[in-house]
Amino acid sequence: MKKIKLFAIASTVLTCTAFQADAQFTKGTLMLGTTIGTTGYSSANSDYNYDAGELRNTGTNAFTFSVGPQIGIFLSPRLVLGATPAFSINTSQATNNITNTNNTASATTTNTTTTTVSIGPYVRYYFSNLATTNWFYGQINGAAGTGSGSTTGTSTGTNSLGSSNGKVSNIFTWNAGGSIGMTHFFYKRIGMDVAIGFNHTHLHNYDTNNTNLTNKTTGIVTESTNNYTLDTGINGVTFGVGFHWFLKG
């Protein structure tokens, strides 16, 4: 008899939990909020195609901070379709070991800072919940954007030392990725997201670069312009935090 009672109580609790879980979100519910994300680790390969005909390949370390509003609508009690406009600041450092056309060696370090605005879709699916306060989800997303920036750098060669500065224009960037995370509800319709994922970003831009080279022996300064088109692919692990309000449709 006791086993039957315990089974009945457990069934009732599970039924109520399932009912509350399904009632948490309904078709037409709006998800409004903001996302904050940073790239904790990234690796990149860049191809430089200089107007003068020289080709370079380099590795890049990058740090990205982005923030933006997020809006979505539940197409079912667990499936969300939405969009995320974002503002991003990207800082990267590229170090090149170069073999020139005359087989002399040189090295350069270039620091680039860009700001971009972008917008793109996302799809989120809530697949599990714990006591209706912690909901686990998977998400895929993408975005495209544009912006501008600046560069500074230093260089060392066999007979010279150099410094450079320039502008970044004609930026076109896109990204795509996925993540898994959890929404913790402080209140029935207010939640905080914590997620970890993977993201691929491709950046295309045109750099106008002015360089001053100082001859180590004579001290004579030579000015030159080195303009180039840059294509960078970045693969990174992402960590994100966000806050959302869930409003009945």
Beta carbons of 120 and 88 less than 8 angstroms apart? no
Mean pLDDT of 208-218: 89
Q: DSSP for the chain?
A: -HHHHHHHHHHHHHHHHHHHHHHHS-TT-EEEEEEEEEEEEEEEEEEEEETTS-EEEEEEEEEEEEEEEEEEEESSSSEEEEEEEEEEEEEEEEEEEEE-TTS-EEEEEEEEEEEEEEEEEEEEEEEEEETTTEEEEEEEEEEEEEEEEEEEEEEE-SSEEEEEEEEEEEEEEEEEEEEEEEEEEEETTEEEEEEEEEEEEEEEEEEEEEEEEEETTT--EEEEE--EEEEEEEEEEEEEEEEEEEE--
How many CA atoms lie less than 13 Å away from 220 in the CB half-sphere? 4
Structure tokens at 180: 């898994």
* Residue with the larger pLDDT of the pair 156 and 126: 126
Q: What is the pLDDT of residue 233?
A: 82
Residue 4 confidence (pLDDT) above 90: no
pLDDT tens digit sequence for 8-50? 444 443 334 333 444 468 899 999 998 876 665 556 566 666 6
Neighbours of 57 (CB within 10 A): 10
pTM of the model: 0.70
Identify the pLDDT of residue 92: 78
pLDDT at 24: 64
The whole-number pLDDT of residue 108 equals 79
